[in-house]
Structure 1
Amino acid sequence: FKYWFYWTKHTSCSNICTSRGGSTCKQCLTVHPSCAWCFQEGVAGVSRCDLKSNLLDAGCAVNALEFPTSKLQVKEDRPLSDKAARDTADATQIRPQRLHITLRPDDSKRFTVKVRQVEDYPVDLYYLMDLSYSMNDDLYRLRTLGKGLAQEMGRTTSNLRMGFGAFVDKPLSPYMYISPKEALLNPCYGINTTCLPQFGYKHVLSLTEEVGRFTEEVKKQIVSRNRDAPEGGFDAIIQAAVCNEKIGWRQGASHLLIFTTDAKTHVALDGRLAGIVQPNDGKCHLNSENMYSMSTVLDYPSLALITEKMSENNINLIFAVTSSVVPLYQNYSELIPGTAVGTLSNDSGNVIQLILNAYAKIRSVIDMETQGVPEELSLSFNATCLNGEVIPGIKSCSGLKIGDTVSFSVEARARGCPKEKRKTFVIKPVGFKDSLTVTVTFECECKCQAAAQPNSPVCNHGNGTYECGICLCHPGRLGPRCECAEGDYGATERDHCTAPSARGPRGAWGAEAAVCSGRGDCVCGQCVCHSSDFGKVWGKLCECDDFNCLRYKGELCAGHGVCDCGFCQCDSDWRGDNCNCSRRTDTCMSSLGLLCSGRGQCVCGACECTQPGAYGANCDKCPTCPDACTMKKECVECKHFKRGKLFEENSCTRICRDEIQLVNDLEFHDKNAVNCTYKDEDDCVERFQYYEDASGKSILFVVKEPDCPKGPDILVVLLSVAGAILFLGLASLLIWKLLVTIHDRREFAKFEEERARAKWDTVGGHIHSLVDTHARCSINLILNVSYNFTLTTRIATHGGNIYKDL
């Protein structure tokens, strides 16, 4: 009984290979990457589909095992370049370049992709301009654009080419003026001026290094006029992107498409207003005059089509639009990878700086995209940007400089077996020509299948195909060797159709015995599973199906996986017992690029705010947080004062969704409102209040006039300096007088002391001295003391006589 319990526990529960019921070699490979198949003849009493170690222990020879493993081979791995040469074919910005992966079903392989934007990379810049009448003053500005733009772009690249194209709208009613007749040739007839007939799109100048030609062609342009407010710019974008030969896009260059307008644009299905129902085909339709010939036949393109063509042709789109339509094009930019939006002044006076800022913004971001990934393969990305931190679920890095290198860890997992054994897909940065080509071989077949013997005598005189050590019986035949017909039935064979847990210790049937799990018939000792309206039933004992798994919100495996024998096999971006937990973290990124704004954790694709007071989808709302003032300060600087980091990066609209209200002083709005102060670059104290209303709307009340320090009073300064000088002078005189007085007193005291010591020793008026009678001495004594008192004494001695003169 103990042995039976051990076998039941470890064979039916712990061992996924035997519990999933892989009855053929091909099925065995799809159960789990750890499963192996033994095709050795004469194996009986054990499952041919089992763990490799178990099969070897059971006596299966190594050369009789089918156990393919997933492999990864690097086919091309050139090092990254530092700087682009004149011949850009030699510049390498992605590494490796070619990979080959062999994958078993449900197995995965991980590889790393490195990306670097090289210096001095060639740039192709195509300027696509709205020539409707409202852009007349902008056209005047553009006539002087070429030289200045070339000079500024020359700081980034030494290999620049420029081209020009123009658009208005489809020359059909209701988009154009058709009455009076004169308006057909001169749409400006009604405003007493002359302009060009309306056109959809015309290509004016192919990409060229001659800046002078750009200026000459622009000077020749004349505006036109359309009837409705939106323009037909999306038609022009598609034609400029796909007409490579006409435009002259180079394969080894960065492609910039500058789209300038002051109005909204028509999108797909708007063509029905003019009776146009044929969808845009995304192909080039420029005639011999470089005019868009299908403008009145094809509908406007969709955003999805624009995204596809931008990616196919490695084009970065820059929307240079006026402030009134910036929010609309900002939404377009979020849907089209590799695009940027800049606010164009009313006369396009800032267009050069706008282009430079947008190009710098595009070059500061590396966003990976995939092309041609088969449905049976799932990819997951982890990004390692400049700080070295691995960010799971992210395939982009921002804040980069030219020459920076970033890496992405990519996991490729086989989710099934396609009809074609080999598939190829591409991984590349948005807007780059460089790409990584990955070839995947799905290892879903067993090598022993090639040696299959149809109508083999081993299978009961040809009643089946002998393949990989087992008989695959013809229809109507059953049994290990196809020895039974479907009509045969014997009670003694039921033992093979019941799980060991339903039998007694001697093989007797228990009261709860269920033949073929109650979902099939036992025929010749094998279970023939019933069909089900809910899905597929399979397994040695009909124990598996694809519909009895956990559900979430009424959907099997939450709609993010497949049900396999009672277990949810989740897609690569999902996990959990019912696949309701997302692995992605990009949904938790705040507008500042911080995970949950740095105030929480990303759990199942949603932020769980951990900092007290934080709330919102990305924990971005937190008036009481210590950093609330710091974060909102940048928005005040950008939106109100038009300065600061966000303003320079042109990301104010994207990051700062707050409403700015100017007030004379800060008032009480709510107990959760926070008053903030900071010093600006002029050392002025700016004050504002951060407030979230009941609907979650963020409002910043900014005091109109900052508190700036007053300038110094010149008169006070002069008087202070003069007073200080006078005071120092008087103090110096007093100190000098004091020192002189002290010195005089010391000298006088010394004099008095010396005078008191000056005494003469006299005896009877004579000075006795013993001297040699032959000696003569002459002593001159001069004493100089203060007040010019001099005492001179001469003593002469001669023959014993002494003379004294005073």
Structure 2
Amino acid sequence: MTSLDGKVFSWICLLFLILEITHTEDDKCMHSDSCERCLSTHLECAWCTGKEYTVGYRCLSRSQLLANNCTETDIYENQPVLDVLQDKPLKDYETTDQAIQVRPQRAYLKLVKGNTQRIKLSYRTASNNPLDLYVLMDLTWTMRDDKDTLEELGAQLSQTLKNLTGNYRLGFGSFADKPTFPMILPQYKENPCAAERAQCEPTYGFRHQLSLTDNIPAFTGAVANSKITGNLDNLEGGLDALMQVIVCTKEIGWKEQARKVVILVTDGFMHLAGDGLLAGIIERNDKQCHLNEAGEYTGSLDYDYPSLEEIYRELLRRKINVIFAVTQNVVSSYRELSALMKEISYVDILSADSSNILELIKKSYESLIKRTQFADNSPDYIDMVYYTDCGGQFPTLQKRNYCNNVNLGKEIDFYVDVTLKKYPEDKVYTHKIRVEETSLSEYMDLDVELQRPCPCQETPEPENEFGRFQCQDQGYMYCGMCICDSGWTGTFCTCPIDSTNVTSNEALLQKCRQPLADRTTSELVCSNHGDCDCGSCQCDIGYTGPYCECRECLDCDEKLADCFCGQCVCKYGWSENGCNCDVDTDACVGPTGEICSKRGTCECEECQCEEPYLGKFCEIDPEKDNKLCLFYEPCVTCLIEQKQGMGACENLTQICSSLDRQETYSYSFVHELDPEQDQCLVRMVNKHGMQCDSFFVYKVVDHSNFLTIQAVDCEPVDYVALVGYISAFTLLIGLLIIFLILWCIRAKDAREYAKFDEEQRNNVRQENPLYRDPVGRYVVPKALSVKYDENPFAS
């Protein structure tokens, strides 16, 4: 393309851009030929029903209809409304008032067909929220030591719950199984523990022993007074008992505003719906309460076990969470069960004697309150889609109605898009929709009104001259639409029925609607880019095709693409809108050999990742795994083992090479890794038998793999050296202390002596003036003077 051609092309693009900008909503509206189609074309479209309106296009924007002298009373338009009716601020639980964890609490929506209204919903877990915890315990023979442990831990359980919330209540119940063959042996009916040469309680289905209370001694006493029983198989009637705990609201004492939790403690599997047939029990579980005054389940021999689906629906409906505290041998089965109702259940491993039950309650409760999920009861013709970033966990809004690992006290915003897809067949235009948190009695009520289809209250006037004139005197005007005489059809009754072989205006317009792949036709007449003239589309400037469905191509490079129905169809080897991208995906193939880790598409030699995946090859899942960490892990493990003298891996070259086995990974060991880089964890057992965690980072440049490894040497404690070091250190400290003491003593003595010496020098002798020394002292002069007056012996 020459420079001049490029300038011409740029001017053409600019011209079409200006035309596109000036292509207002009025232009989109004007091709609609009926009120209902007009309003569904665009939110800004309005329909004029006035008889005196003379402009050809009745579907325009409100402002243009008024400018064309359509009176306001004759204009019917879309009127979406969003009004928040109740929006109390979020607050924590107080003894005098309930917590508020969802806002707003109520809103009014007026929905227009095809238009989406977005409402913001905020959620925050309230601190000190009431907790109702019901302990449902398997008291068959194998759980006898667990009962004793729970009884001993009663006081500690109180402290554990106080650390979670200061407002809690406890309840207790126990279960075994249906007291009939083949769940028990008839000869052991009165003493099912006879086979163990012990005495125990006759088998019962479920026994409610203590309603929810804040009296901890009462809970401990209820556990102590409960009796061990037994059954024949390793399948228990836990679902029977759980259903009664759920539905017996009054007997259990569930509080509406509390977070309701059942912890089911067992070491066995559960009977499911249909197992009652083995005992001749064919009546389906009726999901009703059957507890007598003593708390005994009276329907154990009358009703079959409930199904998981029935349990799940009742848990959801009554906002009750369930924690399965089960032993290691059955935990996998309960995790599969919990996966079917993951938003309201949790599974953890119970130790053999239940000694970790307090830790388990704390862990599971914190897991439950760190998860939030919302659901609604909207009808199928109203679509509700949720978006959230989970309080900053994601860089952008994600299409999801739940969040995990929510920090306590963190406010989470959900954006709910509400769309009316179609009008209800029952013509009911007011609805109440509740958006509620799945595990709490917290919700937002939406009062929804659907905008009705175009009403028409005019009286038909088939002989009105002006109305017939507007319909070419081959019909009459009614509510802004032509009602054609026999033999004529079309928007303005200009099409004779004989030539078009159709009998109605709707059938004529159907010929101007584009057929779709699913054997239906588009709702748009001439794709909204032209007028339907007797079954044929007369397209607007810039559009072409039998249904005006194609735009003229403006930016197709003839060397790289062909124009087909307004689209640049790239020639072999090129892609993207401008066909300027090489289709080669080699740059998107990661070390695993997958294109974008099968989590995205390769566009212009770069991976465009699906939500929520990240990374150069879409290898990072923010919530789960990193595919490249898992891919490099065997290689890094071998390199660390080799470095630490654990022996060389036999297949090191194989597992540390690229897929084509032509290049070995480059690697280096460092003391510290860059904290800003995404680090991968390698957990291994070293030569000392210790579990040791090391970290590494990877980099892929032109299919070359670079590994930077921070190998941690987890050495066992050398007690001999440790004792030696401590002894030497102690001796050194002792010598240092002795030296300091001696130095202090010498320094003190030196100061005292200097003080004494100074006093001696400054001492002045005091003598008595009357005292005369009796000792005479003479000094022989060194030289005799010759002077007489000085020397009497001088000559």
The within-5 A match list for 1:90-169 is 91-169=99-177
2:400 corresponds to: 394
Spell out, residue by residue over 1:611-650, the C-alpha distance to the aligned partner (whole angstroms, 9 max, x if none): 4987999763224788x69999xxxxxxxxxxxxxxxxxx
SS in 2 for 1:165: strand
SS of residue in 1 equivalent to 2:250: helix
Alignment RMSD: 5.3
Q: How far, CA to CA, are the matches of 2:717 and 2:273 in structure 1?
A: 57
Letter of the 1:469 partner, please give it: G
Do 2:51 and 2:477's aligned partners in 1 also have CA atoms closer than 8 Å? Answer: no
The residue that corresponds to 1:87 in the other structure is: 96
Paired with 2:608 and 2:238, the residues of 1 have a C-alpha distance of: 40
Match of 1:345 in 2: 351
Going from structure 1 to structure 2, the CA distance change for 1:106 and 1:278 (only over 3 Å counts) comes to farther
| Structure 1 pair 390–606 and aligned structure 2 pair: CA distance change class (3 A) | closer
- 2: CA distance between counterparts of 1:334 and 1:69? 44
Taking a change above 3 Å as real, the CA distance of residues 177 and 28 of structure 1, as seen in their structure-2 partners, is same
Q: Is the 8 A contact 1:666 1:688 kept in 2?
A: no
Task: List aligned pairs for 1:332-481, cutoff 5 A.
Answer: 332-336=337-341, 337-372=343-378, 374-385=380-391, 389-418=395-424, 419-446=427-454, 448-449=455-456, 451-453=457-459, 468-470=479-481, 480-481=482-483
Task: Tell whether 2:184 aligns with 1:177.
Answer: yes
Judging changes above 3 Å, is the alpha-carbon distance between structure 1 residues 665 and 110 closer, same or farther for their aligned structure 2 residues?
farther
1:120 is matched by which residue type in structure 2? Answer: N
Matched AA of 2:213: T
Deviation of the 1:16 alpha carbon: 4.9
Instruction: After TM superposition, give the deviation of residue 162 of structure 1 in Å.
Output: 0.9
Partner of 2:777: none
Residue 311 of structure 2 aligns to a residue whose secondary structure is helix
- Alignment TM-score, normalising by the size of structure 2: 0.64
The amino acid of 1:360's aligned partner reads E
SS at match of 1:170: coil
Distance across 2 between alignment mates of 1:301 and 1:526: 55
Q: In structure 1, the residue corresponding to 2:159 is in which secondary structure?
A: helix
Correspondence for 1:521: 502
Is the CA contact (8 Å cut-off) linking 1:123 and 1:255 kept in structure 2? yes
Q: How does 1:296-311 map to 2 (within 5 A)?
A: 296-311=301-316
Instruction: Output one character per residue of 1:96-125: Cα deviation in whole Å (capped at 9) or x when no partner.
Output: 111111110111111222222222222111
CA contact (8 A) 2:128 2:165 kept: yes
CA shift, 1:262, in A, is 0.9
Letter of the 2:253 counterpart: G
Contact 2:118 2:415 in 1 (8 A): yes
Tell me what 1:264 maps to. 269
Q: Does 1:667 align with 2:667?
A: no
Q: 1:619 to 1:386 in 2, by over 3 A?
A: closer
1:198-225 Cα deviation digits (max 9, x unpaired): 3322222111122222122222222222
Partner Cα separation in structure 1 for residue 407 and residue 69 of structure 2: 61
CA pair 43-130 structure 1, distance change in 2 beyond 3 A: same
Partner of 1:68: 78
Question: CA–CA distance in 1 between the matches of 2:252 and 2:194?
Answer: 33
Asked if 2 retains the 8 angstrom alpha-carbon contact of 1:126 and 1:162, the reply is yes
Give the share of equivalent positions with the same residue, in percent: 25
CA displacement 1:409-459 (0-9 Å, x = unmatched): 22222222223212222223332222111122111333x43x344798769
Q: Secondary structure at the match of 2:324?
A: strand
- Residue 300 of structure 1: how far off its partner (Å): 3.1
Change (3 A) 1:523 1:73: closer
Partner amino acid for 2:508? C
Does residue 78 in structure 1 map to residue 88 in structure 2? yes
Query: Which letter does structure 2 place at the counterpart of 1:125?
Result: L
Q: Is the 8 A contact 1:494 1:522 kept in 2?
A: no
Contact 2:491 2:505 in 1 (8 A): no
- After TM superposition, the structure 1 = structure 2 runs for residues 396-795 of structure 1, keeping only pairs within 5 Å, are 396-418=402-424, 419-446=427-454, 448-449=455-456, 451-453=457-459, 468-470=479-481, 480-482=482-484, 484-485=485-486, 488=487, 496=495, 521=502, 527=508, 603-604=609-610, 607=613, 610-611=616-617, 620-623=626-629, 667-669=649-651, 671-672=654-655, 686=692, 706-708=714-716, 710-711=718-719, 712=721
- Distance change in 2, residues 1:80/1:331 (3 Å): same
Mapped partners of 2:682, 2:782: distance in 1: 93
1:326 is aligned to 331
- C-alpha distance 66-147 of structure 1, shift in aligned 2 (>3 A): same
CA distance in 2, matches of 1:323, 1:166: 21
CA contact (8 A) 2:477 2:483 kept: no
Paired letter, 1:133: W
Aligned to 1:230: 235
Task: Kindly state the Cα deviation for residue 602 of structure 1 after the two structures are TM-superposed.
Answer: 7.5
Measured at CA, do residues 706 and 44 of structure 1 come closer, stay the same or move farther in structure 2, by a change above 3 Å?
same
Residues 56 and 94 (structure 1), Cα distance of their counterparts in 2 relative to 1, 3 Å cut? same
**Alpha-carbon spacing, 1:468–1:325, altered in 2? closer, same or farther (3 Å):** farther
Inter-partner Cα distance in structure 2 for 1:125 and 1:688? 41
Take 1:685 and 1:186, find their aligned partners in 2: how far apart are those partners? 49
The CA distance in 2 between the partners of 1:109 and 1:492, in whole Å, is 33
Distance 1:287 1:398, change over 3 A: same
Q: 1:42 to 1:160 in 2, by over 3 A?
A: same
Q: Name the CA shift for 1:497/1:69 in 2 (closer, same or farther; >3 Å).
A: farther
Write the deviation string for residues 256-296 of structure 1: whole angstroms up to 9, x where unpaired.
Answer: 11111112223344444445555444333334443333334
Identify the residue that residue 41 of structure 1 maps to in structure 2: 51
Flag structure 1 segments of 5+ consecutive residues without an equivalent: 1-5, 471-479, 499-513, 551-594, 633-662, 691-702, 734-791
Secondary structure of 1:154 counterpart: helix
Distance 2:200 2:647 in 1: 52
Task: Provide the TM-score with structure 1 as the length reference.
Answer: 0.63
SS at 1:78's partner residue? coil
CA 1:523–1:188 in structure 2 vs 1: closer, same or farther (change >3 Å)?
closer
CA distance in 1, matches of 2:635, 2:377: 41
1:351 Cα offset (Å)? 0.8
Asked if 2 retains the 8 angstrom alpha-carbon contact of 1:378 and 1:414, the reply is no
Distance in structure 1 (CA, Å) of the matches to 2:622 and 2:693: 25
Supply the distance in 2 between the matched residues of 1:535 and 1:543 (Cα, whole angstroms).
18
- 1:666, 1:689 within 8 Å by CA — same for their partners in 2? no
Change (3 A) 1:66 1:713: closer
Q: Distance in 1 between matches of 2:651 and 2:29?
A: 65
For structure 2, the residue ranges without an aligned partner over 5 or more in a row are: 1-17, 469-473, 526-531, 538-546, 550-597, 601-605, 638-644, 657-664, 668-680, 697-710, 744-780
Deviation, structure 1 residue 365: 2.4
- Contact 2:599–2:610 (CA under 8 A) maintained in structure 1: no
Instruction: Show CA shifts across 1:311-345 (max 9, x none).
Output: 22222211111112222222333332132222111
Q: What's the secondary structure of 1:356's corresponding residue?
A: helix
One-letter identity of the residue aligned with 1:188: C
Cα distance change, pair 246–40 in 1 and its aligned pair in 2 (3 A):
same
Farther off after superposition, 31-40 or 531-540? 531-540
